[in-house]
């Protein structure tokens, strides 16, 4: 009877490299990190038998040909760790390599035989033979190996083979016949603005001073000192393009515009141009470039709203009619999500036969604005467009310029929001806008700062938007506006306000979370210094954020159990552990005393970490010592609903 021979197993299958961290969906999507900061990588690595294992972390930027290497260290129970630092923005790939350290394995066995007194002459010769086969370890290692080999051959003393420096030299100078590499894992390293920024959203046409008159980029430039004085980092502009005249919306989203109604800037495109043109009443493209330069002079970045939709007057409808769907009667299919309809816009058809040209045209729009100096884009309703399109577009743009950032504006189902973040969006809108109770905030933040979300989802906590006036702001109470601002600014590294928040604007359409006389359909002129504004409070919060690294990150967050359900307490720690901030923020208007347990909080780096002994109030400058593992402080929301404390060892 013939028997089939058992196949010889490949040596490359000797090692198992499992449970790799960080990874998103098993390596399908990239992990997100920040340039210049260590990326810790962990994995379980094991094989059969008792030989000594060695492992290394390998990585490279997608523009590099050579891999870089760093050793990994065994911690316990076959868990290995290593780290690398991405030195420039862009996409990286990393992997883990494992192999048998044959010399270290021999050394371990030899040392055991020495202890039990058995004859080890042949074992010593075996070790010396390994030295003669060593190669590729570099001139320094080669010198050590040659020297120790000669000492052994001259003296016959096995101690020459056990020298620590020889073990180090041999570690990188041996053949690795069973070298095993894990699968490749992707990573995106973003510039620091991806993690921390205070955003101010405005409609350029409303920045003038004459009621009813269309604002210009010059008017926008005149606003910049005010915005910069409040401490913002990013100015987000509603669409700046020509507005369609067909089916133009009127005030408060009226179906028919009246004389003088400017229409919605989200109905993009007219005879003057489409997504790569500016509204003529705002100015010229040169005027826009001047605005970008002025922002840079004030330490601000420009973010543009990128809305993938067209008015019926958009040039693409005549130049590329195949990009759009039509109804059976030949009329254009307007945008709708029953019961809602947007008769002033049409969506491109991503399933059309000419979809490739459509994709490239939209990519080229983004690249056009990148050429004008824009490095941040807020994408309007990305969940209504094919997910593969966004993954492709973001990669295409970031290959051209890896400093470009994308914010996903999509208040949709949680898994879809996370899916958008996975496939490349740098930041995401979040449900913070509606989380008001302590338990809601703790649960939601616990979800976003846990694993795996913290590795791919960067929330941007907007307190309001042009589309959303939350019910909790509609009373217009100053303490509530301050509380929501403090929560957004301290809980998240990225947060934003829509203009008018600083003036406590709060008049809704009755029964709805929408602004009455919405700026989306009208030009509004404001007195930016009107009585009752909270601009000094905003400026103080942003000043504290800029001064404390703990508040410029999101993931290192820990809630503390205050003794008052109307106060939320938490501690945040900087990525480099140099800065620890404790906060207590009132969620209701009553003044109260609150106990903050801080006894188990430590400050400092590594072995220098010490327990907190005192806190400094970042607003008043007062210091308070800890007693009995905590501190009791007074909060008066009418004055300031937030206590922000620097922890001192």
- Name which of 432, 418, 408 is nearest 488 in CA terms: 432
Helices and strands, number each (H, E), in the chain: 13, 30
Any known ligand binding at 521?
Answer: yes
Any known ligand binding at 249?
Answer: yes
- Name which of 92, 29, 104, 101 is nearest 58 in CA terms: 92
Q: Which residues of 265-281 are buried (b: 16+ CB within 10 A; e: fewer)?
A: bbbbbbeebbbbbbbeb
- On whether the CB atoms of residues 435 and 463 are closer than 8 A, the answer is no
- On whether the CB atoms of residues 404 and 398 are closer than 8 A, the answer is yes
The CA distance from 592 to 442, in Å, is: 21
Any known ligand binding at 340?
Answer: no
Q: CB neighbours (10 Å) of residue 527?
A: 9
380 is catalytic: yes
The token pair at 250 is 């009127």
- Name which of 301, 272, 300, 289 is nearest 218 in CA terms: 289
276 is catalytic: no
The CA distance from 439 to 436, in Å, is: 9
From residue 205, alpha-carbon distances to 240, 278, 283, 290, 497 in Å are 8, 12, 11, 16, 18
Given the residues 380, 505, 564, 640, the one annotated as active site = 380
- On whether the CB atoms of residues 231 and 198 are closer than 8 A, the answer is yes
The CA distance from 404 to 399, in Å, is: 9
From residue 329, alpha-carbon distances to 38, 325, 333, 345, 347 in Å are 60, 11, 10, 18, 18
The CA distance from 117 to 111, in Å, is: 10
* DSSP-assigned states of every residue in 92-119: EEEEEEEEE-HHHHHHHHHHHHHHHT--
Sign of the torsion formed by the C-alpha atoms of 88, 89, 90 and 92: positive
Q: CB neighbours (10 Å) of residue 643?
A: 24
Pair type for strands 557-560 and 567-573: antiparallel
Longest dimension (CA), the chain: 104
Our CA angle for 455, 460, 461, nearest 5°, is 125
Given the residues 219, 233, 409, 455, the one annotated as active site = 409
360 phi, psi to nearest 5 deg: -65, -35
Any known ligand binding at 520?
Answer: yes
Which segments are annotated as binding site for alpha-maltose 1-phosphate?
249, 309, 344, 381, 520-521
Which segments are annotated as binding site?
249, 309, 344, 381, 520-521
Which residues belong to the active site? 380, 409
């Amino acid at each position: 009877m013939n028997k089939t021979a058992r196949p010889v197993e490949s040596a490359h299958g000797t090692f198992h490299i499992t449970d790799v961290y960080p990874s998103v969906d098993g390596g399908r999507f990239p992990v997100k990190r920040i340039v210049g900061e260590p990326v810790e990588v962990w994995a379980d690595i094991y094989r059969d038998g008792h030989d000594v294992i060695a492992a290394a972390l390998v990585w490279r930027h997608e523009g590099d040909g050579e891999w870089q290497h760093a050793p990994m260290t065994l911690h316990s129970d076959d868990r290995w760790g290593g780290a690398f630092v991405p030195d420039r923005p862009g996409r990286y790939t990393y992997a883990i390599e494992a192999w048998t350290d044959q010399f270290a394995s021999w050394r371990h066995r030899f040392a055991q035989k020495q202890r039990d007194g058995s004859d080890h002459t042949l074992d010593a010769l075996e070790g010396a033979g390994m030295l003669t086969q060593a190669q590729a370890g570099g001139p320094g290692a080669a010198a050590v190996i040659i020297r120790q080999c000669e000492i052994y051959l001259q003296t016959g003393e096995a101690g020459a083979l056990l020298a620590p420096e020889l073990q180090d030299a041999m570690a990188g100078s041996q053949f690795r016949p069973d070298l095993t590499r894990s699968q490749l894992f992707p990573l995106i390293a973003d510039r620091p603005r991806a993690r921390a920024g205070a955003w101010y959203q405005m409609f350029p046409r409303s920045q003038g001073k004459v009621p009813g008159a269309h604002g210009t980029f010059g008017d926008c430039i005149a606003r910049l000192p005010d915005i910069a004085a409040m401490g913002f980092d990013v100015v987000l502009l509603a669409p700046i393009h020509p507005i369609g005249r067909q089916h133009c919306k009127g005030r408060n989203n009226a179906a028919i515009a009246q004389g003088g109604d400017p229409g919605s800037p989200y109905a993009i495109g007219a005879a003057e141009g489409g997504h790569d043109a500016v509204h003529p009443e705002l100015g010229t493209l040169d005027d826009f470039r001047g605005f970008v330069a002025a922002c840079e002079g004030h330490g601000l970045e420009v973010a543009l709203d990128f809305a993938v939709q067209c008015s019926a007057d958009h040039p693409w409808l005549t130049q590329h009619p195949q990009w759009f769907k039509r109804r059976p009667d030949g009329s254009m299919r307007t945008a709708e999500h029953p019961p809602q309809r947007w008769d002033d816009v049409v969506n491109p058809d991503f399933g059309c036969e000419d979809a490739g040209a459509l994709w490239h045209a939209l990519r080229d729009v983004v690249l056009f604005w990148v050429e004008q100096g824009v490095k941040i884009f807020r994408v309007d309703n990305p969940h209504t467009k094919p997910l593969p399109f966004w993954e492709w577009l973001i990669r295409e743009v970031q290959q051209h310029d890896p400093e470009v950032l994308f914010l996903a504006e999509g208040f949709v189902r949680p898994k879809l929001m996370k899916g958008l973040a996975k496939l490349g969006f740098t930041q995401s809108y979040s449900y913070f806008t509606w989380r008001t109770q302590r338990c809601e905030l703790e649960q939601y933040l616990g979800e976003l700062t846990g694993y795996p979300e913290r590795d791919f989802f960067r929330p941007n906590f907007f307190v309001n938007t042009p589309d959303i006036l939350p019910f909790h702001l509609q009373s217009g109470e100053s303490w509530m506006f301050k509380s929501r601002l403090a929560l957004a600014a301290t809980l998240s590294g990225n947060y934003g306000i829509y203009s008018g928040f600083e003036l406590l604007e709060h008049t809704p359409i009755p029964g709805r979370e929408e602004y009455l006389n919405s700026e989306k359909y009208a030009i509004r002129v404001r007195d930016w210094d009107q009585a009752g504004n909270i601009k000094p409070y905003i400026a103080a919060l942003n000043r504290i954020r800029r001064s404390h690294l703990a508040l410029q990150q999101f993931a290192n967050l820990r809630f503390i159990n205050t003794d008052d359900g109307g106060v939320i307490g938490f501690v945040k720690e900087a990525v480099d552990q140099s800065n620890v901030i404790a906060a207590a923020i009132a969620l209701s208007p009553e003044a109260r005393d609150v106990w903050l347990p801080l006894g188990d909080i430590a400050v400092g780096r590594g072995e220098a970490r010490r327990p907190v002994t005192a806190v400094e109030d970042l607003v008043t400058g007062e210091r308070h010592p800890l007693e009995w593992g905590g501190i009791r402080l007074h909060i008066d929301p009418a004055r300031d609903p937030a206590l922000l404390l620097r922890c001192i060892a």
